[in-house]
Amino acid sequence: MRLYKMELYKLCHKKSFVAGLLFILLIGCFFFYEDVKVQRCVVNGVEYTGFQAIRANRQITEEFQGVLTDDTVEQIIEKYGFPSGTPDGYNRLDGNFLNTFVMDYASDGYNNGSDDFRIATKTIPLADTDLGRSYDAAGMEPRLAYYDGWKAMLEQFGILMLGVSMLILYIVSIVFSEEEQTGMKPLLFTTREGPRADTLAKLAAAFSVSAGIWLLAVTFYLLLYCTTYGTGGLGCFSMLLTYWQHAAIPLLQQSVGAYLTEVLLVSLLAVLELCAITICVSARCHSSFHAVVAAGICYAMPFLGFALSQLGWVLLALYSMKHPAGSGLLELGRDLILLFWDLVYSSPCYLLIAKDALIEIGQIPKYGIWHVSITLTIAALMLLLCTTGAYRRYRRQQNI
């Protein structure tokens, strides 16, 4: 425990660590405020913006929240009417959360931008809408609540996690390399605790700091959005939060609360995987500078892998045009590229900042859920292998 506290202190006492944490929180506040600033709604001819718009939407939704029925839809339109006007730069009409929801999901109107929109004129029974059919496919009861806060949080969550990952890369990359650089490693290995205890203490401290940064950032963001937007909407359909609103993706056929929990757990797995990869790199470097640079390269490398996978799809398409009869080879090439996708998407950079990565894999016909499982399994294996590799590598020179 003494060694663990010492290692924890070495990682956290630096001014750069505190400055990094404050910077992450400030970035979170900035993007949160940008979200709030563009909020706008019109209730009975009165326009609200910013925090007032959020408050107004929450108040009018309280009356209708609960099980969503055709009668509820009719009551909303009878009280507030359909949105009107022309979409502005944010592709919104003059409406509020309730009548905009009805227009988007239970009417003959739509809004795909300032050049492609249609003002709603009548409602449509829920059973005949894409939303109703999606609820039936998921075996869920239609519900209505103010879910805009969770949608806004998910849209900015990747930026927050990007800041978290950068801080972890900087802090954790020196866990082992610093001792090599200062020449303290042989001396540490002669202490009464021995090399095993020293190495385990460094590993425990690195994972504790990484998990602590993640917990602080996530808690801070949840408090920001929950206190402003409220905690309603957890029982709504998770597809309402994404761009794949009516696609038959098993990963999204659940409640908002379940989906948010999965997103947070996957981000925690990615943070721990990033920590493991970083300390594995650190154990193989002899200076802190080299460790930071090498860890950054390893973090960004999957982006190159994604580009290569896209090139593979192009080459596969060209081959299919010239050799339409070679279906066996085409299927093999497709399967190999999909497995390569699993490997790329299992990296921390995609699991952390690309919240839709698992959804993209999950919508693969027939085998989407298997590819999601493979991706998460690869991430867990990388976590275990890199941690073990760092432990063995750092102890290799214990007899010096």
pTM: 0.85
The H or E element containing residue 110 is strand 110-111
Q: What does the domain layout of the chain look like in residue ranges?
A: 2-32+151-395, 66-144
pLDDT band for position 26 (50/70/90)?
Answer: very high
pLDDT tens per residue across span 157-213: 888 998 899 898 888 887 766 655 554 555 454 555 545 666 787 888 889 999 999
User: 54-63, 218-227, 278-287: which range is least confident on average?
Assistant: 278-287
Residue whose tokens read 């949080």: 153
Residue 109 phi/psi, 5-degree rounding, is -100, 165
Q: For the residues 298-315, what does the mean pLDDT come to?
A: 80
Contact 359, 251 (CB under 8 A): yes
Of 259, 164, 167, 158, which is closest to residue 214 (Cα–Cα)? 164
Q: Decide which of 284 and 122 is more confident.
A: 122
Give the chain's mean pLDDT: 80
* Residue 119 scores a pLDDT above 50: yes
* Residue 3 scores a pLDDT above 60: yes
Q: Report the pLDDT value the prediction gives residue 399, as an integer from 0 to 100.
A: 45
CA distance 242 to 224: 21
pLDDT tens per residue across span 331-346: 777 778 888 888 888 8
pLDDT tens per residue across span 248-293: 666 677 888 888 888 899 999 999 999 999 888 887 777 777 777 8
